[in-house]
Amino acid sequence: MPTRVETLDNGLKVILRPIPDAKALSTWVTYRIGSRNEVPGMTGSTHWVEHMLFKGGGKLKKGDIDRLVSRLGGKMNAFTDTDFTTYFETIPASAMDTALLIESERMRNAAFDPREVEAERTVVISEREGAENQPEFLVEEELWGLAFHVHPYHWTPIGYKQDLARFERDPLYRHYLRYYAPNNAFLVMVGGFDLAVAMQHIREAFAPLKPEPAPEPMPLVEPEQRGERRSDLRRPGSADLLAIGWHVPPFVHEDTPALIVLSTILGGWRGFTPFAAGEWRSRSNRLYRALVETKLATDTTVRQELKVDPALLIANATLAPKASLDAVEAVVDREVERLRKTAPAKSELDRAKRQVRTWFRYENDGVTYQGMMMTVMEALSSWDAADGVLARVEKVKPEEIRRAAARHLVDDRRSVVRFHAQEASA
Amino acid sequence: MSLPDRTVLDNGAVLVSIALPSNPFLAFRGSVPAGVAAEGEDRGVAEFTSRLLLGGTRRTSAAKLADRLEGIGSTLEFHASEEVLTFQGRCTRETAAETVRLLVECLGRPAFPAKEVERVRGEILNDLRIEADDTRHRAMRALAEAVFPKGHPYGRDPKADPGRVRRIARRDLVAFHEAHVGPEGLIFAVTGDIDRDLIERSIAAPLSRLKGDGHGPVEIPPPGTHRPRTVRIPMPHKSQADIAIGTQAVSRLHQDYYAVNLANLLLGRIGLFGRLGKNLRDDQGLAYYAFSSLDTRTAGGLWSAAAGVNPANIVRAVRGIREELDRLRTDPFSADELANGRDNQVGSLVVSLERNAEVAGELHRLEYYGLGMDFLERYADIVRSLSDDAVRGAARRSFDPDACSLVVAGPVGKTRVSL
């Protein structure tokens, strides 16, 4: 689809995709700041800043963002990732200026009223405590902590509770001023608008904003893992869980297409972004066959974390009541060994490729999801990077899957978390 | 958007469609009247059956079904709910005929193989264990049971209880399927990259081949009287407690529905969760989420307010919700709030129907509740015609704290709480 890309003088990159018949438009403004830019003691600060940016400032009073979008029947939200933070509004196409007002004020003029910062502390902690109620979150946090000792992927974007409990307002505000600048951001707009009109309105809203000195590149590199790492969590819970994470290269690496097909064969594909898939689960993948059909597990997923820096390919299993973690782990080992030793059949490869290809259509359903896809891709590489990856996925050969497995699914570079569900005391 | 097409097939199935060719694939959503309400005393069979529809047919094994569907890049899911068994999926123009053919095969000729029955039994039992350890699920389930007493389908856990799940036999599933899954009462709503020819050739033709002598929709009795009560569910190992407060609500077709729906929007949904969100999250910083829900169905509904809070804040949070319910009398919605709410509901039609899957869901709703194919065109007028007093009155009547049950699940300790 025709897409226009332009960079304003202040460094804000603008990516516009008009869809003539669309009645809605979705505006996404993204900052190249995530939990990977945090330091110990300040974990969760990026996410907390995200919360603060719904509280007004500049031309917007507290509650205005909410009111402006609500009155239009729009939807809005924000996400803090390890690699980026993004804000979006999807609203009727006639109301483009509302989104531009909110996002331009948010970029430089957030209030950070000390009372509001304090009030948000318990909200953020509540979000974390809600996550802690889920054993899956505990396993996920443990896995990343185990796999990364140096790189900030060590912690998750929500941060540690002890950090959240003692943050002060001023460091948070400095964090905001440092990273929320047009030259550290990009804007994606998709939907029913005229290209020239949109560009003019975007210039009017954002061109006056001053850039900041470019942030220093995040310098930390995770050293090569030498030897398997394991952790056993024993907590109250209802089902044993297994998570295995292997180090894989960053999204832009040449092996990414082969790893996408590999993870599809091993555990199914649910799209580049996980939101479109909902509750749907693949059933034609190897781990489903080996674990769920055999009643060792009731659920299994595989996902390749697509990140700016080297990340993880993660296999998860929820164990059936009488299954043992040893048995399930042995099955995963067996399936991974199969991938390392034998190239998949062409029919299996073709099925995986078709899944990836059609999911890309499903993921681009509507202006919000198109905006999200372009945003995630731009944050990782380039707004149209998915097209390139898909083209390379089509060319992946069976032997490349075997080579990718042998190169990346290495026992010495994996981390294993086993959650042993304990009977809860009454 | 033009009006949807509605066609009744010879076998009684209803096909609703609208073309949205800019999204280059199809999304569909449908249902058959085989939900919890159709179970009678055979609790749990609807859920069990729904999970087995991808478990193999008389022609195709579960593994082959998965291979065929995923081999053409299609998705297909079945879920049981209180009133119906739903199905939904996605495919392309090129794969529509095969996808719908497989759907019809799954609906019409499931084999219920013994191996799959046992696999699904284990899966449901595990889900029940996992849900029993989930504070939010426990709170909402206990609330539904309190609000809809005596085994009413709206109050029952679709999965039933572990003892019952262990006893369900294959013959129970076969009998339930034969009695309730067929073309009668079937709705199939589809949108996306479609045209008349595709509808007829790839969708209507295979759907017409679905045979059966199902009973059609069952009459759902009105729920019995709700006697408000307080339920504490201690889960000391959790970090956060979930609070659920609720009562019975009007049905989807009740004359007050639109007023109650707007009142609920203002109380606990609009923006960052309306008045409830402002009180509990914004002003007091007690909760990441605090919101209300209105779940209306054919014979009644459930209204609820929920919040997840630190155990030290349970009492304050319950008090905050109570304050907001009392405020509906002492400080009713202002004209400005009501105008905001109406604008939101009218505007959200555009935004909430931007995706094929959302449009398919809405088409299904139009047909299921008999709202008329022109409903979306009339909707703005319906909302605009609601008087301020009608909405305020609906709020007072429908969200009466003294008519609500209260459930708290989590590390409740010795906290004594009442609404």
| DSSP states along B262-327 | HHHHHHHTHHHHHHHHIIIIIIT--EEEEEEEEEE-SS-EEEEEEEEE-GGGHHHHHHHHHHHHHH
Q: Which residues of A touch B136 (CB under 8 A)?
A: 133
For B239, name the nearest residue in chain A, comparing CA atoms only.
A129
CB of B312 within 8 Å of any CB in chain A? no
Asked whether residue A268 falls in the same domain as residue A196, the answer is no
Tell if the CB–CB gap between A133 and B239 is shorter than 8 Å: yes
**ipTM (interface predicted TM):** 0.93
b (16+ CB within 10 A) / e for A388-421: ebbeebeebebebbbbbbeebbeeebbbbbbbeb
Q: How far apart are CA A171 and CA A46, in angstroms?
A: 11
Asked whether residue A169 falls in the same domain as residue A265, the answer is no
CA angle at residue B417 from B412 to B419, to 5 degrees?
135
Asked whether residue A374 falls in the same domain as residue A283, the answer is yes
Give the closest-approach CA distance of A191 to chain B in angstroms: 10
Q: Has residue A101 been placed in a domain?
A: yes
CB of A87 within 8 Å of any CB in chain B? no
Asked whether residue A250 falls in the same domain as residue A128, the answer is no
CA angle at residue B130 from B125 to B132, to 5 degrees?
95
Q: Which residues of B touch A19 (CB under 8 A)?
A: 22
Q: Which residues of B touch A123 (CB under 8 A)?
A: 281, 285-288
Closest residue to B350, CB basis, from A24, A237, A279: A24
Q: How far apart are CA B37 and CA B158, in angstroms?
A: 10
> B91: helix, coil or strand?
strand
Q: Which residues of A touch B287 (CB under 8 A)?
A: 123, 126
Q: Has residue A219 been placed in a domain?
A: no
From the list A270, A237, A12, A49, the residue with the least C-alpha distance to A134 is: A237
CB of A27 within 8 Å of any CB in chain B? no
Asked whether residue A160 falls in the same domain as residue A245, the answer is no
CB of B236 within 8 Å of any CB in chain A? yes
Q: Has residue A217 been placed in a domain?
A: no
CA angle at residue B380 from B378 to B382, to 5 degrees?
70
| In contact, B131 and B137? CB cutoff 8 Å | yes
Q: How far apart are CA A272 and CA A383, in angstroms?
A: 13
Tell if the CB–CB gap between B129 and A239 is shorter than 8 Å: yes
Tell if the CB–CB gap between B70 and A133 is shorter than 8 Å: no
Residue showing tokens 């009462």:
B185
For B22, name the nearest residue in chain A, comparing CA atoms only.
A21
Asked whether residue A252 falls in the same domain as residue A326, the answer is yes
**Domain carrying residue A279:** 229-422
CB of B289 within 8 Å of any CB in chain A? yes
Query: Could you give the count of Cα atoms lying within 13 Å of B202 in the half-sphere of its Cβ?
Result: 20
Tell if the CB–CB gap between A74 and B347 is shorter than 8 Å: yes
From the list B356, B348, B23, B361, the residue with the least C-alpha distance to A91 is: B348
Q: Has residue A224 been placed in a domain?
A: no
Give the closest-approach CA distance of B345 to chain A in angstroms: 6
Q: Write down the pLDDT at residue A424.
A: 81
Q: Has residue A323 been placed in a domain?
A: yes
Pairing mode of beta strands A414-422, A229-236: parallel
Window 1-30 of B, Cβ < 8 Å to A: 22-25, 27
Asked whether residue A270 falls in the same domain as residue A361, the answer is yes
Residue showing tokens 């059956």:
B49
Confidence of residue B415 (pLDDT cuts 50, 70, 90): confident
Asked whether residue A17 falls in the same domain as residue A162, the answer is yes
Q: What is the mean pLDDT of residues B112-126?
A: 96
Closest residue to B70, CB basis, from A123, A284, A362: A284
Q: Has residue A291 been placed in a domain?
A: yes
Q: How far apart are CA B107 and CA B115, in angstroms?
A: 19
For A118, name the nearest residue in chain B, comparing CA atoms only.
B285
CB of B94 within 8 Å of any CB in chain A? no
Q: Which residues of A touch B362 (CB under 8 A)?
A: none
pTM for this predicted structure = 0.95
Asked whether residue A131 falls in the same domain as residue A255, the answer is no
Pick the more confident residue, B215 or A146: A146
From the list B259, B258, B275, B256, the residue with the least C-alpha distance to B267 is: B275
Choose, out of A69, A129, A167, A270, the residue to mutate when testing the contact with B (most B CBs < 10 Å).
Answer: A129
Q: Which residues of B touch A118 (CB under 8 A)?
A: 285
Window 147-206 of B, Cβ < 8 Å to A: none
Q: How far is CA B169 from the centre of its chain?
A: 27
CA angle at residue A345 from A343 to A346, to 5 degrees?
115
Percent of chain B whose predicted confidence (pLDDT) is above 90: 94
How many domains does chain A contain in total?
2
Asked whether residue A37 falls in the same domain as residue A122, the answer is yes
| CATH code for the domain of A415 | 3.30.830.10
Window 146-205 of A, Cβ < 8 Å to B: none
Q: Which residues of B touch A350 (CB under 8 A)?
A: 71
Looking at A149, A174, A207, which one is the last position of a domain? A207
For A23, name the nearest residue in chain B, comparing CA atoms only.
B350
| In contact, B107 and B181? CB cutoff 8 Å | yes
Q: Write down the pLDDT at residue B347.
A: 93
Asked whether residue A61 falls in the same domain as residue A173, the answer is yes
Q: How far apart are CA A90 and CA A86, in angstroms?
A: 13
Q: Has residue A97 been placed in a domain?
A: yes
Closest residue to A92, CB basis, from B129, B282, B351: B351
Tell if the CB–CB gap between A425 and B237 is shorter than 8 Å: yes
Tell if the CB–CB gap between A130 and B132 is shorter than 8 Å: no
Asked whether residue A256 falls in the same domain as residue A202, the answer is no
Q: Write down the pLDDT at residue A275.
A: 79
For B20, name the nearest residue in chain A, comparing CA atoms only.
A21
Q: Write down the pLDDT at residue B66.
A: 97
Enumerate the H helices of B353-387 as residue ranges: 356-368, 375-384
Window 328-347 of B, Cβ < 8 Å to A: 340, 343-347
The residue type at A91: I
Beta bridge partners of A235: A421
Give the A:B interface size as CB pairs under 8 Å: 199
Written as six digits, the tokens of B377 are: 């065109």
Q: What is the mean pLDDT of residues B311-326?
A: 97
Tell if the CB–CB gap between A19 and B22 is shorter than 8 Å: yes
CB of B348 within 8 Å of any CB in chain A? yes
Q: Has residue A40 been placed in a domain?
A: yes
Q: Write down the pLDDT at residue A365.
A: 92
CB of A279 within 8 Å of any CB in chain B? yes
Closest residue to B135, CB basis, from A24, A133, A320: A133
Q: Write down the pLDDT at residue B2.
A: 85
Choose, out of A122, A141, A190, A372, the residue to mutate when testing the contact with B (most B CBs < 10 Å).
Answer: A122
Which parts of chain A register pLDDT below 50? none
- The DSSP call for residue A420 is E
3-state helix, strand, coil in chain B (%, to 5): 45, 20, 35
- The DSSP call for residue A95 is G
CB of A351 within 8 Å of any CB in chain B? yes
Q: Which residues of A touch B283 (CB under 8 A)?
A: 119
